[in-house]
């Protein structure tokens, strides 16, 4: 079912029906000590329009999450992250990234884990839900699997690419995710009747504020089709620019100007 060499990540039972990226980070704790390690994740995602949500557990009682507004070709750093190490030599952290929006065919995804304290490594897996499996699983079995993302290397460095089955979630589903976090915030331990996690109410309110602001920005204006087509052509030019001569670049731009200046 999961095509993983380990147990299913803790968040899967809540996020099975979301397209998501499962990032497994491993810290090399050579000194075998208990401590809190600070780290950051640098993300570069070209060819995506929408919002990025992340969530992880810094320790057993805490869930941390946030939402980022992503612009085309934007790179940014998720900083001030932390994780409570145990006293084993290798500590593993499960981190989930959920895209809300639209992936273009020629997208590139890359990330870098940075910590001044410990060496780290990571693996990436993508999950694409099946609506057919969701509605008909008592009748037909669909073998959904986490698919490991293997980096593609070119002369500019490595990057990851999602196959066509992986899509961004509809932006409206962000509110379903917020309701899920509210439910988690109310969860109590069955044994001692104590809250299972530290209170998340202030973080959830901040997430609601960001969601309302970002989603309004996404839907308040409609970009004309011709404008979108021009941007796509310019993006194609950008991806091919290293293999073109100066004359070919100028001809490409001239063709664009001539074609769209003659349209009403």
Nearest-CA neighbor of 216 among 168, 174, 179, 181?
Answer: 174
Most confident of 3-7, 50-54, 116-120, 129-133: 50-54
Dihedral pair phi/psi, residue 24, rounded to 5°:
-105, 115
Confidence band of 33 (pLDDT split at 50, 70, 90): confident
Ranges 25-39, 89-103, 131-145: which has the least confidence: 131-145
| Lookup: tokens for 136 | 């008909």
Given this model, what pLDDT does residue 140 score? 47
Between CA 58 and CA 61 the distance in angstroms is: 8
Q: Domain segments of the chain: what residues?
A: 12-219, 225-261
Nearest-CA neighbor of 60 among 205, 164, 197?
Answer: 197
Given this model, what pLDDT does residue 11 score? 94
Confidence band of 221 (pLDDT split at 50, 70, 90): low
């Amino acid at each position: 079912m999961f095509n993983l060499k380990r147990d299913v990540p803790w968040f899967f039972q809540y996020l099975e029906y979301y397209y998501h990226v499962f990032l497994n980070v491993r810290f090399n704790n050579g000194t075998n000590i208990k401590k809190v390690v600070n780290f950051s994740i640098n993300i570069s995602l070209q060819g995506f329009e929408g919002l990025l949500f992340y969530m992880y557990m810094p320790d057993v009682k805490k869930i941390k999450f946030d939402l980022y507004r992503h612009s085309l070709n934007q790179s940014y750093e998720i900083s001030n992250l932390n994780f409570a190490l145990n006293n084993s030599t290798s500590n593993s952290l499960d981190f989930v990234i959920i895209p809300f929006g639209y992936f273009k065919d020629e997208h590139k995804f890359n990330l870098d884990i940075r910590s001044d304290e410990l060496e780290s490594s990571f693996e990436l897996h993508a999950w694409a839900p099946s609506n057919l499996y969701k509605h008909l699983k008592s009748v037909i079995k669909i073998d959904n699997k986490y698919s490991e993302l293997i980096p593609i290397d070119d002369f500019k460095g490595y990057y990851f690419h999602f196959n066509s089955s992986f899509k961004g979630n509809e932006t409206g589903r962000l509110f379903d995710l917020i309701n899920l976090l509210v439910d988690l915030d109310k969860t109590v331990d069955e044994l001692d009747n104590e809250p299972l996690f530290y209170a998340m109410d202030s973080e959830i309110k901040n997430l609601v504020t960001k969601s309302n602001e970002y989603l309004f920005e996404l839907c308040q204006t409609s970009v004309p089709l011709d404008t979108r087509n021009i941007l796509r052509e310019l993006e194609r030019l950008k991806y091919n620019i290293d293999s073109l001569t100066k004359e070919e670049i100028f001809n490409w731009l001239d063709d664009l100007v001539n074609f769209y200046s003659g349209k009403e």
